[in-house]
Structure 1
Amino acid sequence: MKGIRCLLVLVSLSLLAACANKESSLDTSLYDGKPIDTLSLDEPPKTEKEAIQRGDTALSAGNTDLALYEYIRSLEFENGQFRDKALFNIGRIHQSRDNIALAEKAYLIAVEENPNNTQVLEQLGILYSSNGDIRQGKSYFLRAVNADQVRFNKVDTLSSTDLTTVESVASLQVDRHSPEYAYMGLGVAADLQQQHELAQAFYKQSLSIKPDSAKALINVSYSFYMSGDYRKAQRFVLQALDIEPSNEKALNNLALIYLAKGEVNRALNVFSRHMDKPEALNNVGYFLTLQGKPDEAIPYLQQAINTKPTYYKVANENLEKALAMVREEEAKQDE
């Protein structure tokens, strides 16, 4: 009996060691959080699907460290069917934490697993564009659009030269599952190249996917503003404000539109909805100066300084610029 008990103990210890070795062999290169041994005392998941479900549950509960751990555990199963989805979730968690390096790493591995995962391609586009690499971001947005067209059984692979006209963009098929941010990102890239009509075509597709997207409405509004169509710019930004009344970017865009239309008091009122009076006055003066109206800007900048002289150093600097522009213009007229 003593020999049997010793054998059972040895077998139990061997099993525990095997489990420990299995957990210690976990690839934690995509993990960044509190020590793993503090996360879960549950039995290891038996399937890839169970591990992902555990990750989803932890993520819903706001426990992102545990979610990361469970998603990473799901990658340990050979021939996994949902690896790209788990890697997408890993990337999104890291991206939400501004851990760009690990987010990029997770997304790139996910693309290797599934080159047509539109969500991953779209997030890579956002990641690169947000960090100033517009060319790389645009390439991934285009790949996301291509992958989505594959879903619609479109066999031709699109290149950037295939989407250079309003008609070519409008011919793309979309539905509510299409990558709205990829179309939006391509629109922003077109706007940066002063191709405003093309940008607006991309934004229109984005709005076809999600009509109540305040972000898309703000972008298309700003595109019309930059192209000088203030009526349409105002219409779209007001739609955005109907959805998100306190959206500061939308309010700023509306104020800029009013300034461009010469409705200065309305612009001042809009700025005053989300900033104090000196800042609102300074903004009016600053943007009037940018619009080539320094003589109109000067009174607003002086009011900003008078309202809060100790605080508004920036208003003094803007006033000096406006006065310099006026003096330069007067000097040209005297020549």
Structure 2
Amino acid sequence: MHTILSFLSACLFLVSVVGCTAPMKGEFPVSEALDEKALLDSSTKLKDMSASSHLERGNKSLGRNDLSLAKLHFTLALTKDDSLIEAYLGLGESLMREKKYGAAKVVLEKALEKDETCVPAMTKMGILYRTQKEYGEALESLVWASEMAPEDPWVMTELAITYEMSGQGLEAEGYFKKVVELRPELSVGYNNLGFNYLLLEKYQDAISVMEIALMLAPKNRIAMNNLALAYALSGEPGKALQLFGVSVGKAAAYNNVGYLLMVQNHVQDAELALARALEANPLFYARANENLELLETMRRGERKLFD
């Protein structure tokens, strides 16, 4: 199981926001942000812009992942109105994405000083701790946030992911289920629950919910990949190949399925799949040849799933 989980972790599709580094000098990284003035249109009068205008532009820049410009606007918004919680959240998020964890923590703590009941700030603090693998602190923050906002799908998802990453998959399962109940129209909820089932080796349960995820988002490659993994792990490599072929291409499909079969000790089937990966793309999938060499050390008779 450990090898399979290592493979799943390498492919994994539960994604959350991360970010930040050294502690920030002063309350905000003003000098760093002000260096980005050149990014603004020369006709813009920064001093004449209102705090709310800076906040709006900061959020738009963050949406484009233009972190330098986002930090500038959030910082200027706070210099004009330091009560804007949304500006603290935006600045903290920008710093997290830059992996400046210490600076992000300072900003989020400032937000919580302004409003100790701010669920988004506490949730982001939990994500920040989780990013640094401080799971105890992360769970403390996220459990608090979930108690304050028990019907918030975002909070429930982040708490579930944290339980999962800390090795508490069974605890995570309940929260992933709750997200599906809260937002049954969203593919991502079913996808996350299905992935949790994969980690718990509940393959048929994973297939059931991941099929719903793909039905809700037929072109979503993450949903395709996760469902393909579920098929492969449950002993249905044909279905896995079909989905992998659509999402990542023929060579990658055979390579992925071949590796999964190998770690499950289906040696002969793994050899066939990896050989087909090499046939499909001998240059790009040279790694498939390395996997074939590994098979020589685990040669044994196994049932043929491809016959």
| Normalised TM-score (structure 1) | 0.69
The residue correspondences of 1:148-163 to structure 2 (distance < 5 A) are 148=149
Cα deviation for residue 238 of structure 1 reads 1.8
Structure 2 CA distance for aligned equivalents of residues 231 and 122 of structure 1 = 32
- Pair 1:132 & 2:105 matched: no
The residue correspondences of 1:308-323 to structure 2 (distance < 5 A) are 308-323=281-296
Which residue identity does 1:270 align to in structure 2?
L
Cα deviation for residue 276 of structure 1 reads 2.5
Aligned residue among 55, 74, 89 for 1:71: 74
Structure 1 equivalent of residue 108 of structure 2 = 107
What are the Cα deviations for residues 269-299 of structure 1, in whole angstroms up to 9, with x where unaligned?
A: 1110122322211111101112232232111
Q: Which has the higher contact order (CA 8 A, sep 6+)?
A: 2
Give the 3-state SS of the residue equivalent to 1:273 in structure 2. helix
Structure 2 equivalent of residue 281 of structure 1 = 254
Conservation of the 8 A alpha-carbon contact between 1:74 and 1:86 = yes
Structure 2 CA distance for aligned equivalents of residues 216 and 276 of structure 1 = 26
What are the Cα deviations for residues 70-102 of structure 1, in whole angstroms up to 9, with x where unaligned?
A: 433343457x5x332220122223334555444
Structure 2 CA distance for aligned equivalents of residues 70 and 306 of structure 1 = 53
Conservation of the 8 A alpha-carbon contact between 1:30 and 1:102 = no
Pair member with larger Rg = 1
Give the 3-state SS of the residue equivalent to 2:254 in structure 1. helix
Give the 3-state SS of the residue equivalent to 2:247 in structure 1. coil
Structure 1 equivalent of residue 52 of structure 2 = 52
Structure 1 CA distance for aligned equivalents of residues 289 and 56 of structure 2 = 53
Aligned residue among 237, 240, 263 for 1:290: 263
What are the Cα deviations for residues 181-231 of structure 1, in whole angstroms up to 9, with x where unaligned?
A: 332232233334554442221112223443334333212102223333333
Q: Quick one: structure 1 residues 189 and 291, their matched pair in 2 at CA, closer, same or farther if it must change by over 3 Å?
A: farther
Conservation of the 8 A alpha-carbon contact between 1:286 and 1:297 = yes
Which residue identity does 2:288 align to in structure 1?
A
- Backbone CA RMSD of aligned residues: 3.1
Structure 1 CA distance for aligned equivalents of residues 101 and 119 of structure 2 = 19
Cα deviation for residue 125 of structure 1 reads 2.0
Which residue identity does 1:215 align to in structure 2?
V
Aligned residue among 206, 221, 243 for 1:270: 243
Conservation of the 8 A alpha-carbon contact between 1:52 and 1:70 = no
Which residue identity does 2:75 align to in structure 1?
I
Structure 2 equivalent of residue 95 of structure 1 = 96
The residue correspondences of 1:11-50 to structure 2 (distance < 5 A) are 29-30=29-30, 32-33=32-33, 35=35, 38=38, 39=40, 40-44=44-48, 50=50
Q: Quick one: structure 1 residues 280 and 197, their matched pair in 2 at CA, closer, same or farther if it must change by over 3 Å?
A: same
Structure 1 equivalent of residue 176 of structure 2 = 203
Gap regions ≥5 residues in structure 1: 1-25, 149-172, 331-335
Q: Quick one: structure 1 residues 262 and 69, their matched pair in 2 at CA, closer, same or farther if it must change by over 3 Å?
A: closer
Which residue identity does 1:72 align to in structure 2?
T
Structure 2 equivalent of residue 251 of structure 1 = 224
Conservation of the 8 A alpha-carbon contact between 1:285 and 1:301 = yes
Aligned residue among 287, 290, 299 for 2:272: 299
Structure 2 CA distance for aligned equivalents of residues 69 and 313 of structure 1 = 46
Structure 2 CA distance for aligned equivalents of residues 109 and 222 of structure 1 = 35
Structure 1 equivalent of residue 86 of structure 2 = 85
Structure 1 equivalent of residue 10 of structure 2 = none
Conservation of the 8 A alpha-carbon contact between 2:233 and 2:260 = no
Conservation of the 8 A alpha-carbon contact between 2:74 and 2:87 = yes
What are the Cα deviations for residues 23-66 of structure 1, in whole angstroms up to 9, with x where unaligned?
A: xxx97525644636555425446xxxx41243214543767655
| Normalised TM-score (structure 2) | 0.74
Identity of aligned residues (%): 23
Cα deviation for residue 267 of structure 1 reads 0.8
Conservation of the 8 A alpha-carbon contact between 1:237 and 1:253 = yes
Cα deviation for residue 250 of structure 1 reads 1.9
Gap regions ≥5 residues in structure 2: 1-25, 303-307
Which residue identity does 1:147 align to in structure 2?
M
Conservation of the 8 A alpha-carbon contact between 2:54 and 2:77 = no
